[in-house]
């Protein structure tokens, strides 16, 4: 599972990290989904939790990337992995309360699991 390299082999910025690209796309997709759903206050609170968790993951990858210290980067990646796990849960909840259909939920949750695997692989390479 390749988590570091994108199409180019040289990593000069966090945007070159495939795992960041995938986490960022997931966060943006979830945000866009939230904009098209009609929500009451309680629904919006759940969407807010999901969006916060989703954007936290790529943000922690960026913060860790710029720390440029092995253990510090790995620590930020672990936080990112936890945020993706939390995102997976909120997507599950959004499906349960009929805010996301089952097919979309399965797709997004599959992306979460892929990102978790990529982060796990990258963490083990750094340590």
User: What percent of the chain is helix, strand and coil (3-state, nearest 5)?
Assistant: 80, 0, 20
Q: Is the pLDDT of residue 1 over 50?
A: no
Q: Are 75 and 112 in contact (CB under 8 A)?
A: no
Q: What is the mean pLDDT of residues 31-54?
A: 92
Identify the pLDDT of residue 2: 52
Could you give all domains of the chain from N- to C-terminal order, each with its CATH number? 14-126 (1.20.1440.60)
Residue-by-residue DSSP string for 111-126: HHHHHHHHHHHHHHHH
Q: How far apart (Å, rounded) are the C-alpha atoms in residues 18 and 2?
A: 8
Identify the pLDDT of residue 39: 76
Identify the pLDDT of residue 4: 55
Q: What is the mean pLDDT of residues 102-112?
A: 99
Q: How far apart (Å, rounded) are the C-alpha atoms in residues 76 and 89?
A: 20
Q: Is the pLDDT of residue 6 over 60?
A: no
């Amino acid at each position: 599972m390749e988590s570091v390299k994108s199409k180019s082999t040289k990593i000069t910025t966090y945007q070159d990290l495939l795992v960041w690209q995938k986490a960022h796309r997931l966060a943006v997709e979830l945000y866009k989904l939230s904009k098209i759903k009609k929500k009451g206050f309680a629904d919006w609170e759940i969407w807010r939790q999901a969006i916060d968790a989703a954007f936290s993951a790529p943000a922690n990858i960026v913060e860790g990337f710029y720390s440029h210290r092995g253990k510090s980067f790995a620590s930020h990646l672990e936080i990112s992995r936890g945020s993706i796990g939390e995102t997976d849960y909120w997507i599950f909840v959004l499906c349960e309360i009929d805010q996301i259909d089952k097919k979309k939920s399965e797709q997004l949750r599959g992306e979460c699991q892929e990102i978790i695997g990529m982060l796990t692989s990258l963490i083990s390479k750094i340590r």
